[in-house]
Each structure stands twice: as C-alpha cells, then as structure tokens.
A = this chain, B = another copy of it.
Amino acid sequence: MRAVCVIGLGLIGGSVLRAAVRAGRAAWGATSSTSDGAAAAAAGFAVLSTEDALARAAEEDALVVVAVPLPAVEGVLRSVADVAPLCRLTDVVSVKQPVADLVARVVPTARYAGGHPMAGKSVSGWPAGSAELFDGAPWVAVADEETSLDAWREAAELALDCGAHVVPTTASEHDAAVARVSHLPHILAAVLAATGAGGGPLALSLAAGSFTDGTRVAGTPADSVLAMCEGNRGPLLDAVDDALGRLGAARGALASTGGLAATVRAGNAGRAALTAVRSGDGREEVHIDLTDPEAVDDLRSLGAGGGRILRFDGDVAIGDLPG
C-alpha cells in the first residue's frame, strides 16, 4: 500500500492521516500549527517538519496530500517544488480549478490529481477530526484533460481507503457543482437568518422548523464560510445569479398574478431529484476498464450522471449509477 504524507493537520488533514493509518498505510504528517502538531504527536502519529515530511515522501514514493486552506496552498507547493518535485500529489481543498492552476504553475512536474472529500463540520482543528469522518461520503477525484489515469487512481484509492466513494469529474464541473449545493446554501441561509431577524424578536419568537432548518448553517463561523465561498468566486456568482433569477421570478409572479405554483413545484421537483440520486433502488452497476483509451471519458460520464466508483478490481473500476 502506498505511504501517505499529509501536509496540514486540521479537521480534514487530521482525519485523512487517521483514516490512512486505519487502512493500514504508513502515514506521517506536517503542520504549521503547533497545537495541531502537538495534539497529533500526542495521539501517537508521526509529525515531522514540512521539509522532512516531503523529503521522506520523495524517498518512499509516497502520496503527498495538501490539506491546508486555499490561501496557504501556494506556499506548500513551493516546498514540494523544492524538496519533492516529482512526487505523487493530491489535495483535499474545497475548490479544484484554483489549486490545479497553482500546481501547473508552481510544481508542474508533480504527478497530480485533485481531490475533495464532501464531509465537514462547523468546528476545525485536529481535535475535531476522526478516522471515520469520510465513511460513506462522496470524495471527488479530478479527471481533467491533463490528469494521468495513474495519478487519478492514487487519489481515488486514498478516498476508498478513507471509507468514501469516489466521484470522478473535472475541476471546473466540480467547482460549478459545489457552488450550487455547498456554497449557495450558506449564502441563502445567511440571507434568511438576516431577513428573519429583521422582523425583530416577535418574528423570531414565532419561528418554527422551516426557519430553524433553513438557517442552521448560518451559525457556521464566518471565517470558514468566507474561505470556502470567496475561493470559488466565478462559479458561485453563476449560482447566485441563478438563484436571484428564480427568486425574482417568484417576486414577479406574486406581485402580478399572486401565484407561486411555478416556484413551489420547481422546488418539489428539485427535492425529488435529490431523493432519486440518493436512492439505493434500481442502481445500475458500472465497470470501467482503465486500460481503455476512453477510460477518462467514461469516468467523467459516470460522475456527470450522479454515479460513483466503489472499488477497483485489477485495472477495472467498479461503481454504480442512480436508477
């Protein structure tokens, strides 16, 4: 099994280190946070300096996992370029095109495929992590034009070993998708919380489940929401514009005919589509031969259809698609 070198030991990186060890892999980490580093070392994990960790990765042909916030990625990649420029490389940052652009600029010789586990919490740091964080979660492994299948498979095998299933897609399709289902929900929750509070204590005292659920993620610490949303500016603008158009149409319908049927029925249909993608009923098993020249296209089509990879059997990736 491939050894793993995790740079950044916060919630996500710390959980990757634990999950890699749980899977039986040799694994070590590095972090610029003295508190995260001390906590990881105290829990029995190998914590080195970033340079020593990367040097060991180069020596042992390990997979390097960049697990720092987007603003810190460039600095880590400069260290990679200095110490382990030919390494196998992935990351777990919440946007993919900006990281791919940085890798292409700073350390183009690395054998890179991006990743993104769709799991999180509203708390951060090593103590918040666990080996089980990714169990059953989707984990994007990026298959772009320039991605080698070998690098993609390294990222995908790590995801499976961490208990996740793999969703293959491109960096730009990933960023557009998470803008809609992960970043826009935070913006709308903030808008709803502020509009509700604008009604004063009376309105808040009458709030029931619809308001409580709709504003839950508005309680997430601002810094982590800002890092996530502001780092995905272009795709998030598209998603916000789509939502603005739909909300404006509802406003217009309410003001003119008074009817909201189109808005409410589109919401019903969207929620039904979510249930259908998640359903276990009638899912179709899919086999993709990774030696086939069309393999990358097949992987992307699988992801675009809401499908996932569940395991590898030799050179065959085995997964399923919604029914």
Give the nearest-CB partner of A121 in chain B.
Answer: B209
Contact with B along A204-232 (1 / 0, CB 8 A): 11111111111111110110011001100
Chain B CB within 8 A of A186 CB: yes
| Contact, CB under 8 Å: A219 / B268 | yes
Stretch from A37-45, A189-197, A291-299 that touches the partner: A189-197
A267-B190, A304-B200 known; A244-B251 Cβ under 8 A: yes
Which one, B206, B247, B254, B261, contacts A237 given CB within 8 A?
Answer: B254
Give the nearest-CB partner of A120 in chain B.
Answer: B208
Give the nearest-CB partner of A274 in chain B.
Answer: B204
| Chain copies in the assembled complex | 2
| Contact, CB under 8 Å: B268 / A191 | no
| Contact, CB under 8 Å: B267 / A218 | yes
Taken together as a complex, chains A and B put the C-alpha atoms of A230 and B266 apart, in Å, by: 16
| Contact, CB under 8 Å: A247 / B181 | no
Q: Could you say which residues of chain B place their CB within 8 Å of the CB of A208?
A: 118-120, 137, 181-182
A219-B268, A264-B222 known; A246-B191 Cβ under 8 A: yes
A182-B208, A214-B185, A306-B205 known; A193-B274 Cβ under 8 A: yes
| Contact, CB under 8 Å: A203 / B191 | no
Q: Is the interface of A mostly helix, strand, loop or mixed?
A: helix
| Contact, CB under 8 Å: B189 / A210 | yes
Q: Could you say which residues of chain B place their CB within 8 Å of the CB of A78?
A: none
> Nearest chain B CB to A71's CB is how many angstroms away?
13
Chain B CB within 8 A of A250 CB: yes
| Contact, CB under 8 Å: A196 / B181 | yes
Q: How large is the interface on A (under 10, 10 to 19, 20 to 34, 35 or more residues)?
A: 35 or more
Chain B CB within 8 A of A282 CB: no
Contact with B along A243-271 (1 / 0, CB 8 A): 11011101100110011110111111111
| Contact, CB under 8 Å: A261 / B222 | yes
Taken together as a complex, chains A and B put the C-alpha atoms of A43 and B203 apart, in Å, by: 37
| Contact, CB under 8 Å: A226 / B264 | yes
Q: Tell me which residues from 268 to 282 in chain A have a Cβ below 8 Å from any Cβ of chain B.
A: 268-275, 277-278
Stretch from A12-20, A48-56, A99-107, A170-178 that touches the partner: A170-178
Taken together as a complex, chains A and B put the C-alpha atoms of A120 and B199 apart, in Å, by: 21
Contact with B along A298-317 (1 / 0, CB 8 A): 00000111111000000000
Q: Could you say which residues of chain B place their CB within 8 Å of the CB of A222?
A: 261, 264-265, 268
Q: Could you say which residues of chain B place their CB within 8 Å of the CB of A268?
A: 190, 193, 218-219, 221-222
* A residues adjacent to B (C-beta < 8 A): 118-120, 137-138, 140, 167, 169, 173-174, 176-178, 180-182, 184-219, 221-222, 225-226, 229-230, 233, 236-237, 239-244, 246-248, 250-251, 254-255, 258-261, 263-275, 277-278, 303-308, 322
Q: 17 A-B contacts, Cβ less than 8 Å apart?
A: A181-B203, A187-B250, A188-B214, A189-B210, A190-B264, A197-B270, A201-B306, A202-B306, A204-B277, A214-B217, A215-B271, A218-B267, A219-B271, A225-B264, A230-B254, A240-B251, A244-B247
